[in-house]
Structure 1
Amino acid sequence: METEKKTQTAAEQMTDRDLSEQIKKVTKESHVRAENTQLMLSFQRGKVTLPQYKLLLCSLYEIYQALEEQLDRNSNHPGVAPIYFPAELARLETIEKDLEYFYGPDWREKIVVPAATKRYCHRLRQIGEENPEFLLAHAYTRYLGDLSGGQVLGRIAQKSMGLKNSEGLSFFAFPGVSSPNLFKQLYRSRMNSVELTEEERNGVLEEAVRAFEFNIQVFDDLQKLLSVTENNLQSCLSQSKPVNAKTLQIPGTLINSSPLLRMVLGFFVALATVSVGIYAL
């Protein structure tokens, strides 16, 4: 009996030292907050809209471009190599496919992202150059999150937006992963095998919390961006006479983060002046 108890205690101590478990523990509160952002609640309630999803895809494109660029760049780094699975996990090409479906062949010219997305991408490139092992935290947060909820969120998005088959939903598909649960076990095992100093481990744990905070900020900013454009357009369309561009009020951080947004808002004003009541992002 006592031997079994010692064995159980040893197993628990080993689990407590697993990097994946430590990340799960330190990000628990942030995880809950991320799930309760307005954007994620729309998904959970089956009410995600096409404008919401399209804006989300734009930010995911920028984020995965930065993440996968740095993972590729550091693929031989001892802190990255064990969790480097481009064939199974890479998302960039799937997002590009979805963006082309929604925006057309010139989708690159139509991408709009908030300042929070730019900050997230800057951080990914910064650690890729200075602390590649920190990429562990971001890869774990993004990829395993996508694998865990991807299938469910994909079905919700398809039903909410009335999409046929899986068109526009390539992001949620992982054809290189036959069993998400088994793959996640393998991924965690590889993560836990990475040799880190105590200082590096603490740095990875802090980065995992930071990764969730970046995602929360992106979700919140996307919702604000959507609300601003919707509210301003509604205001413009309610006017019976031409609207001066000064009528449009929008936070400076959002305007400065994307020249294209200024073009979009200008387009909205043009619509208002001719009383065309059609809105589509």
Structure 2
Amino acid sequence: MATTTESVSNGGGPVHEDKGETLRPDDLSEMLAAGTKDVHEKAENTQFVKDFLRGRIRRELFKLGAVALYYTYTAMEEEIEINKDHPHFAPLYFPSELHRHEALARDLEYFYGPEWKREISCSPATQRYVDRIHQVGQEYPALLVAHAYTRYMGDLSGGQVLKKVAQRALKLPPTGEGVEFYQFDAIDSAKAFKQLYRSRMNELELDAETKSSLVDEAVKAFQFNMEVFEELEEIGKTFQEEVSEDGMPIHGDTGGDISKCPYYASKMAASGGMAYACQLAMAILRHPTGQVLIATWFAVLAGLVAWYLM
């Protein structure tokens, strides 16, 4: 069968991806996808993530999430730089395409100002995550692959959707300030790059025991992420619910008008208000803002499905 290739740079000249690759169950990418499926689903179903996808994210909580990401990526990319020539990681070294800590620094400067480093601190859950990344980098460099896979592949899978949700919910500038973390300027095709990355993982010369350890470490990485989400959720409970002038809760960027919130219709249907929910649904479909929100929700679902097809 004829195959096609696509050129991607990794800082050492162009590399090419073979789109005709046939995957096997013992390929590392397949083992990681299968081994993390359950914990990945749990992570997606944490309340923090569900609220984010619905556009229910407060500015202060979003800022704290960016802080957690900054410390996490700074630690991971420090260890990646130290181990960039390690045979079990070198083929996955794509600093210009993937590294995120500088973009996160710009996002934090946008939110906190020029003295942002004095305004932030590493939370307990994030610190445990950071400590594990440093331990892995120093003692088990091959396991860095699990942490890179968990973070970077997830960012490439749903980053653009989350970027749009955040921009709309927080009324951020359309030019990208505050959400540079989600923008991979050096990657033209996220799908092609993910295929290349998985191919590189599958070519690593790893024995069965190391592959198994990588799956276990990827599960731990998801668990660390869930701990950060749960920590943010608890912090969010201390924030007062934002309300509009008429006393209605604000749902994302709906401006307090509950008829513009597609999730409220679902809630009404579940509680027995089917007729009212249908009326609301029709009103939403007729309203441009409602159409955009519904389109965004379907895009989110498509992004989640795409992850499992990676």
Q: TM-score, normalised by structure 1?
A: 0.76
| Identical pairs, percent | 47
- CA distance in 2 between partners of 1:167 and 1:201 (Å): 39
Match of 2:170 among 161, 169, 175: 161
- 2:67–2:108: 8 Å Cα contact kept in structure 1? yes
Equivalent residue, structure 2, for 1:91: 100
Equivalent residue, structure 2, for 1:221: 231
Equivalent residue, structure 2, for 1:174: 184
Q: 1:114: Cα distance to partner?
A: 2.4
Q: Tell me if 1:148 matches 2:157.
A: yes
Runs of 4+ in 1 over 4 A off after TM superposition: 11-14
- 1:114–1:225: 8 Å Cα contact kept in structure 2? no
Q: 1:12: Cα distance to partner?
A: 12
Q: Tell me if 1:119 matches 2:128.
A: yes
| Larger helix proportion of the pair | 1
Match of 1:55 among 48, 64, 74: 64
CA RMSD of aligned residues (A): 1.8
- CA distance in 2 between partners of 1:223 and 1:112 (Å): 17
Q: Tell me if 1:203 matches 2:213.
A: yes
- CA distance in 2 between partners of 1:184 and 1:83 (Å): 11
- CA distance in 2 between partners of 1:99 and 1:23 (Å): 32
Change (3 A) 1:84 1:215: same
Q: Give the counterpart letter for 2:177 in structure 1.
A: E
- 1:63–1:117: 8 Å Cα contact kept in structure 2? yes
Q: 1:228: Cα distance to partner?
A: 3.7
Unaligned runs of at least 5 residues, structure 2: 1-19, 242-310
Q: TM-score, normalised by structure 2?
A: 0.69
Q: Give the counterpart letter for 1:219 in structure 2.
A: F
- CA distance in 2 between partners of 1:25 and 1:203 (Å): 14
Equivalent residue, structure 1, for 2:39: 30
SS in 1 for 2:25: helix
Unaligned runs of at least 5 residues, structure 1: 1-10, 232-281
SS in 2 for 1:29: helix
- Higher relative CO (Cα under 8 Å, sequence separation at least 6) belongs to 1
Q: 1:113: Cα distance to partner?
A: 3.5
SS in 2 for 1:17: coil
SS in 2 for 1:16: coil
